[in-house]
Structure 1
Amino acid sequence: MLMNETIGPLVGFVHADDLPWVNAGPVGLQVLRVSPDTWVVRNRFKAPFQLPRHKHTGSVHAYTFSGRWRYAEYGIDYVAGTFIHEPPGSVHTLMIEEDSDILFIIEGAFIEYDADGAISSVVDGESTLNAYFALCDAAGVPRPEGILR
């Protein structure tokens, strides 16, 4: 960590234009930060799209830049300009109603469930970063060095 004796630790930053977008099917992914407890991603979803039902182990904050999406269980549309907070333990099914651009700040991991309610996968910051790098490699895009840690 960089330090300045007068002001303490320097503020980490990354400019989104310096990080590539990669696609995993209908989902564009840009990873902005990964630490042991928090990860920040921006997703561009093509509608219609649905994530499997999942549970968050920590809080999630999200900001919608464009589009319209919802959680199947709640019946509320989140449109451009909407900021949400999900408490730890939230269980839901994300549904993209219109092409959407959303920033997620995720604490902990999320646990995906299959149709029978069994755990099908666990996704955290490190696994997301590894997937992002693999998608960069597959697309022939250099792995970015500016992701905050």
Structure 2
Amino acid sequence: MLMTETLGPLVGHVHSDDLPWVDAGPVGLQVLRVSADTWVVRNRFRAGFQLPKHKHTGGVHAYTFSGRWQYAEYGIDYVGGTFIYEPPGSIHTLTILEDSDILFVIEGAFIEFAPDGSISGVTDGESTLNAYYALCDAAGIPRPEGILQ
């Protein structure tokens, strides 16, 4: 018996060369995908950069293309070729030891903590996309149309 498949929705795709890099201080940012529950960004961090202590409401997958970084709380160096998974709710402080190029697939929101432990900020896919567009505008770069939704 021959079985035929019905094509489902088209596979979305974007080429990183079609999306501009923007600078947010010591961080280069490229947004690849934003949906209601997941956002995908690629960051180029300069050595010495550190994010505030934070957690995510969902899981985070990350792949390091190059460089060396760690979470200050764990003391494990992640180098080019390393894939990591952060379970929802893990609390950590991303610390860049060498210039690094990292892809993040982030589910949910990013909750930033002040030194006293209070919540100092919340970032999600929509706010990241808005910041990316604002950085494009400020740099005179046309807003890209290829970001997956």
TM-score range, shorter chain: over 0.9
- Equivalent position of 2:122 in the other structure: 122
Q: Verify: 1:23 aligned to 2:18, yes or no.
A: no
- Equivalent position of 1:132 in the other structure: 132
- Equivalent position of 2:107 in the other structure: 107
1:56-135 superposed matches below 5 A: 56-135=56-135
Query: What SS does the aligned partner of 2:14 have?
Result: coil
TM-score (norm 2): 0.96
Once the two structures are aligned, what percentage of the paired residues are identical? 83
Q: Which runs of 5+ in 1 are unaligned?
A: none
Q: Which has the higher strand share?
A: 1
Aligned-partner Cα distance in 2 for 1:56–1:16: 25
Cα deviation for residue 80 of structure 1 reads: 0.2
Aligned-partner Cα distance in 2 for 1:60–1:148: 18
Aligned-partner Cα distance in 1 for 2:115–2:73: 15
- Equivalent position of 1:144 in the other structure: 144
Aligned-partner Cα distance in 1 for 2:7–2:119: 46
- Equivalent position of 2:45 in the other structure: 45
Report the count of equivalent residues: 145
Aligned-partner Cα distance in 2 for 1:145–1:117: 38
Cα deviation for residue 6 of structure 1 reads: 3.1
Cα deviation for residue 71 of structure 1 reads: 0.1
User: Which runs of at least 4 in structure 1 moved beyond 3 Å after TM superposition?
Assistant: none
- Equivalent position of 2:36 in the other structure: 36
The root-mean-square deviation of aligned C-alpha atoms, in Å, is: 0.8
Residue type of the partner of 1:63?
Y
Kindly name which structure, 1 or 2, has the bigger radius of gyration based on alpha carbons. Answer: 2
